[in-house]
Amino acid sequence: MVRPQKRTFPTEIPNWIGGKELPAASGKLFDKLNPADGEILCRAARSDEKDIARAVKAARKVQPVWANTPAVQRGMLLHDIVLGLKARQQEVAQVVAAETGKSLKDALGETGGAIALGLFYASEGQRLYGRTTTSGTPNKYAMTVRQPVGVAGLIVAANTPIANVAWKVFPALVCGNAAILKAAEDTPVTAWIFGEIARLSGLPAGLLNIIQGYGEEAGAALVKNPGVDLISFTGSTAVGRQIAGIAGERMAKVSLELGGKNPMVVCDDADLENAAKWVLLSAFSNAGQRCAAASRIIIFSSVYDKFRRNLVERAAKLKVGTADSDDFGPVINGEQLSNILGTVARARRAGAKILTGGKRLTDPAHRNGFYIAPTLIENAAPDSEISTSELFGPVACLYRARDFQEALELANNSPYGLTACIHTQNFNRALEFSHKVQAGVAVVNAGTYGSEPHMPFGGVKNSGNGWREPGTEALDVYSELKDIYINIQPETA
């Protein structure tokens, strides 16, 4: 069940600062555990404000030169990084699998997604469009151009580590910024190997600095540092609020992609087999560790009992482990495991019914890792903790709805608004839901996840602060628009 890992990386993971591998200034390290077996996988630099200061100095030194490099040339250099990533796709995927506990098959797919995203943004070096438009004044021409923000602080989550790194690094660099990436503490090796690929591909030293460490030590120092012009953060809503407050005090630009409690509506005319397939994938793939996971399954009353039986039967057959034949692996760490199980236990005490799962797997194949059985719950109140809190694990709750209107109201009865999905054969329902659901992404007859590189992603309410990444919309995050007015004197021509 737990496959042996071939080591392709150092036992101690350093920072990348100014093109060099450096330990933390303090000399401290922290342990990174393998979530599949609980054993120490490696140790990583436990950085603090001193390391952030060194990274900011290196970034600010080189950024003006990079900004003056034509965007087409910046894109070509990023293309070289993509080729380096593609050449080492198998190795990178092995690192991702080792750090997260997901199967090598899933890790390869994720790495392929990072490559596709890198190709998209490398090409954007040829399309950093501004606008040329008309003026209301004679002999006056108006246009806009894009300019870099400066130094971008990038803070990523561990759930899809190489995709998350690519999601922020590529658009930040193509827009002419220098970047300081705060690696997720649960996936330090993924960030390190990306930094190595970037260096070997010829990225100038200091343009991409990668800092290891804990959020409250290294991440907080990055947010506070006045030399960082932009913070782009993916993670929990609670931490996002803190970042917005701290960075806002110094008027730094802030992009927040936060949590979700995403609804999937199953109507009475849905293809129930297809809907069940997508519920299980959306709720349980990647161990439910997606901001776009489906955790609220809203089912029309007329098909509720039939659909519930089907879901429970299918969920009980899911295989949990790290092999390519398994459906999902462990959650990322022991703290997350405890938080999920604690929330499920409180829901049970409050009257919710556990239909399947709801427990840690403790058989010999799983007992040392951070595995949770696929969990389906019913009778949870829509305003209860488990209905309104993002768990980031393989847990979903089922709810009854009399009709479309009640289903839509339940879907919108959430502090979050990231993604949503409806399963129906009715075109009118599908279109009405797509327009009326309070979410940044609406899907018909598939899952709640599956963003593509060329499309904007983000949410409303507590799921974000209005920015969208990736797609060309991410260029708005990582660049500033400048108006330029040119006045001419035709009589002197």
- Residue-wise pLDDT for 200-215, tens only, equals 999 999 999 999 999 9
Residue 411: closest CA among 237, 259, 261, 236? 261
Distance CA 9, CA 96 (A): 12
DSSP H or E stretch at residue 267: none
First to last CA, the chain: 79
Sheet containing strand 131-133, edge to edge, reads 131-133, 140-148, 479-487
Strands (E), 230-271: 230-234, 253-257, 262-266
**φ, ψ (nearest 5 deg) of residue 139:** 65, 30
Sheet containing strand 441-444, edge to edge, reads 353-356, 375-378, 395-401, 294-300, 262-266, 419-423, 441-444
Contacts of 277 (CB under 8 A, 6+ apart): none
Distance CA 493, CA 479 (A): 35
Give 254's strand partners. 231
Sheet containing strand 29-33, edge to edge, reads 12-13, 40-45, 29-33
Is 358 within 8 Å of 373 (Cβ atoms)? Answer: yes
Active-site residue (options: 217, 257, 390, 469): 257
Distance CA 45, CA 14 (A): 5
The answer to whether 291 is a known catalytic residue is yes
Distance CA 92, CA 78 (A): 17
**φ, ψ (nearest 5 deg) of residue 35:** -70, -15
Sheet containing strand 151-155, edge to edge, reads 20-22, 15-17, 208-211, 178-182, 151-155, 230-234, 253-257
Position 436, amino acid: K
| Residue 130 burial (10 A CB sphere; 0-12, 13-18, 19+) | middle
pLDDT score for 441: 98
Q: Is the dihedral of CA 445, 450, 454, 458 positive or negative?
A: positive
pLDDT score for 4: 45
Position 405, amino acid: Q
pLDDT digit string (tens) for 407-436?
999 999 999 999 999 999 999 999 999 999
pLDDT digit string (tens) for 91-125?
999 999 999 999 999 999 999 999 999 999 999 99
pLDDT, mean of each 10-residue run, the chain (493 residues):
59 98 98 98 98 98 98 98 98 98 98 98 96 94 97 98 98 98 98 98 98 98 98 97 96 97 98 98 98 98 98 97 98 98 98 98 97 98 98 98 98 98 98 98 97 95 97 97 96 90
DSSP H or E stretch at residue 451: none
**φ, ψ (nearest 5 deg) of residue 180:** -120, 110
Distance CA 126, CA 22 (A): 35
* Average model confidence (pLDDT) across the chain: 97
Domains (range + CATH), the chain: 12-258+464-482 (3.40.605.10), 262-444 (3.40.309.10)
pLDDT score for 8: 74
pLDDT score for 493: 84
Q: In degrees, to the nearest 5, what angle opens at C-alpha 328 toward C-alphas 325 and 330?
A: 125
Distance CA 193, CA 325 (A): 27
State the helix-helix crossing angle for 89-100 and 104-123, rounded to 10 degrees: 120
pLDDT score for 271: 98
- Global pTM value: 0.96
pLDDT score for 6: 56
Is 168 within 8 Å of 256 (Cβ atoms)? Answer: no
The answer to whether 378 is a known catalytic residue is no
pLDDT score for 214: 98
Active-site residue (options: 291, 397, 421, 469): 291
pLDDT score for 7: 59
**Alpha-carbon 370 to chain mean position:** 21
